[in-house]
Amino acid sequence: MAEFHAASGGPSGPPLAVTQGDPAGIGPELTLRAWRDGGREFPFFVLGDPAFLRRLAARLGWSVPVAEATPDSAAALFPHALPVVPIGMEVVAQPGRPDPRSAPATLLSIETAVALTRSGRTAGIVTNPIAKHVLYEAGFRHPGHTEYLAALAAEPGVEPPHPVMMLWCETLAVVPVTVHLALAEVPGRLTDELICRTARIVAQDLRTRFGVINPRLAVAGLNPHAGEGGAMGREEETVIGPALDRLRREGIDVTGPWPADTLFHGRARSGYDVVLAMYHDQALIPIKTLAFDEAVNVTLGLPFIRTSPDHGTAFDIAGQGIARPDSLLAAIGLAARLSRR
């Protein structure tokens, strides 16, 4: 990726809001560790239950002071304690035991973060992992976390924004054009319009948020060998190619469709700023191979900054104090850097 021009100096402006995520997962303990081990460069506060985080810190034997705060007092408290802005709901979850009764607090934490960010009282949102199946049991009807954020960002009477998931690390950025679909559904859902809409949002946000003056987009083919001239599939000729022609006419620097198996080695990565992949695993396998613990999920296309660790709730290790905070720290750092633009 081209040089990331977002400022990386000391803190300025309001702090970041970190959501609680599923309280039975690793999010809460990673948040405690992020404050304890991550230095004090990027102030943040947590939207959750202060008593729950105090109990968790005591259970883990960690010396992490938790201070009840407001969004406006959090930055001053941050050097001395982990600021927690209460959301008014008690959290009683046990680590590793997902419970639908936690869903209202999980959702309220997200809703409050969006409201505070849109009002300018926070610089951006860092979301801890949620478990969609837990929320579904409690009546949640959105496809996932990102779609819920898009719905919260919608203005009355206006179509909700189209969120785009980009996985980012210092050496690679990837965007899956289709995301959480069964592989058999991908060809039918892949359209010229979806590719163009995704590419426009990526190019725009790379310019305005990442400071990449002329973003270079490389696009992967859907089929092996990018279709091998139609011998292994026609989508490159009938869908992807026409979309790229359209984008070039609009002035977007886009190349492809390229065979995905030769798109991610070191020399290839020097030739683009981001890859648009056609489906989930085509994008996530390479970045998780290169940066499993440091990759960040950043949502493009929203009217506010949102980043997230690139991992799930990990219920199987929750409460043991062994989960690594690297991805959460990277998400906090990236959100802070983006907010300075």
pLDDT of residue 221: 98
CA 68, CA 45: separation in Å to the nearest integer? 10
User: What's the pLDDT tens digit per position in 252-305?
Assistant: 999 999 999 999 999 999 999 999 999 999 999 999 999 988 999 999 999 999
pLDDT of residue 74: 97
| Helix or strand run (H / E) with residue 153 | helix 145-153
Reply yes or no on whether the pLDDT at 47 is more than 70: yes
Contact 45, 84 (CB under 8 A): yes
pLDDT of residue 12: 61
Residues of the chain with CATH 3.40.718.10: 1-162+303-341, 171-290
Strands 82-86 and 66-68: parallel
Reply yes or no on whether the pLDDT at 6 is more than 60: no
Reply yes or no on whether the pLDDT at 53 is more than 50: yes
pLDDT band of 39, cuts 50, 70, 90? confident
Contact 87, 109 (CB under 8 A): yes
pLDDT of residue 5: 53
pLDDT of residue 330: 95
Name the percent of the chain lying above pLDDT 70: 96
Report which of residues 40 and 265 the model is more confident about.
Answer: 265
Write b or e for each residue in 260-273: b if 16 or more Cβ atoms lie within 10 A of its Cβ, otherwise e: beebbeeeebeebb
| Torsional class of 62: left (φ above 0), alpha (ψ -120 to 50), beta (otherwise) | beta
According to CATH, the topology of domain 171-290 is: Isopropylmalate Dehydrogenase (3.40.718)
- The pTM score is 0.93
Which two tokens mark 224? 């092996």
pLDDT of residue 233: 92
Q: How many residues does the chain have?
A: 341
Q: What is the mean pLDDT of residues 177-190?
A: 94
Reply yes or no on whether the pLDDT at 332 is more than 90: yes
Reply yes or no on whether the pLDDT at 188 is more than 60: yes
Of all residues in the chain, what percent are helix, strand and coil, respectively (each to 5)? Answer: 40, 15, 40
pLDDT band of 4, cuts 50, 70, 90? low
Reply yes or no on whether the pLDDT at 2 is more than 60: no
pLDDT of residue 162: 93
User: What's the pLDDT tens digit per position in 75-129?
Assistant: 999 999 999 999 999 998 999 999 999 999 999 999 999 999 999 999 999 999 9
Strands 296-300 and 306-309: antiparallel
pLDDT of residue 3: 56
pLDDT of residue 57: 97
Mean pLDDT of the chain: 93
CA 325, CA 36: separation in Å to the nearest integer? 10
List C-alpha distances in Å: 243 to 36, 200, 238, 264, 326.
47, 11, 9, 22, 37
Contact 164, 206 (CB under 8 A): no
Reply yes or no on whether the pLDDT at 11 is more than 70: no
Dihedral sign for Cα 277, 279, 282, 287, please. positive
pLDDT of residue 320: 96
Q: What is the mean pLDDT of residues 174-188?
A: 95
According to CATH, the topology of domain 1-162+303-341 is: Isopropylmalate Dehydrogenase (3.40.718)
Q: What is the mean pLDDT of residues 135-141?
A: 89
CA 105, CA 173: separation in Å to the nearest integer? 32
User: What's the pLDDT tens digit per position in 54-66?
Assistant: 999 999 999 999 9
